């Protein structure tokens, strides 16, 4: 994961709060490196910076190797003695991929693209290495990348049912 990827998915509702907290504590670049190295892992953070047992020193060295000394110190000051749940951000990344697929589909079936629905689904399946049914489900979902609430349904015709 790159810092740019992380920045692109920060606004999504599925972006983990812990990832945002990590960005605030360690910075965007260090967070991207940590998520890339340890996605979904529980890191037992050393209690304090500077006075380590052998185990604490080993944990700190592992962290420092990934994020650098400055970010490692900040993480230890913030999560020291606790468990840092390193997020994987896979739900937010998948939501971003959904948005790309829907946008790509719209381009393919527009008058400029000239693809039929079936041709577009086939092409997207090959491009994104996904089954046609998965593509169908993705393009049938509404886009809502900024997390704003969806408009309420129009209930004016409900008495007809």
- Span of 70-84, 90-104, 140-154 with lowest mean pLDDT: 140-154
Give the pLDDT of residue 104: 94
Q: Is 83 left (phi over 0), alpha (psi -120 to 50) or beta?
A: beta
For residues 6 and 2, give the distance between their C-alpha atoms in angstroms, rounded to a whole number.
6
161 Cβ neighbours under 8 A, 6+ residues apart? none
Give the pLDDT of residue 47: 84
Per-residue DSSP letters for 43-102? Answer: EE--SSSS---HHHHHHHHHHHHHH-HHHHHHHHHHHTTSEEE----HHHHHHHHHHHHH
Q: Whole-prediction pTM value?
A: 0.74
Give the pLDDT of residue 39: 95
For residues 116 and 48, give the distance between their C-alpha atoms in angstroms, rounded to a whole number.
61
70 Cβ neighbours under 8 A, 6+ residues apart? none
- Span of 23-27, 49-53, 82-86, 156-160 with lowest mean pLDDT: 156-160
Give the pLDDT of residue 149: 37
Structural Rg of the chain based on CA atoms: 22
For residues 102 and 58, give the distance between their C-alpha atoms in angstroms, rounded to a whole number.
45
Q: What is the mean pLDDT of the chain?
A: 87
């Amino acid at each position: 994961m790159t810092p740019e990827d992380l920045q692109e998915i920060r606004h999504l509702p599925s972006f983990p709060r812990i990832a945002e907290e990590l960005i605030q504590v360690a910075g965007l670049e260090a967070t991207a490196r940590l998520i890339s190295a340890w996605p979904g892992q529980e890191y037992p953070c050393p209690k304090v910076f500077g006075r380590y047992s052998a185990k604490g020193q080993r944990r700190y060295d592992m962290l420092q190797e990934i994020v650098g000394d400055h970010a490692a110190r900040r993480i230890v000051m913030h999560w020291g003695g606790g468990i840092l749940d390193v997020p994987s951000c896979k739900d937010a990344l998948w939501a971003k991929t959904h948005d790309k697929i829907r946008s790509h589909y719209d381009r393919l079936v527009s008058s400029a693209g000239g693809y039929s629905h079936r041709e577009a689904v086939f092409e997207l399946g090959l491009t994104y290495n996904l089954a046609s049914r998965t593509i169908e489900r993705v393009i049938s979902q509404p886009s809502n990348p900024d997390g704003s609430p969806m408009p309420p349904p129009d209930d004016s015709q409900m008495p007809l049912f």
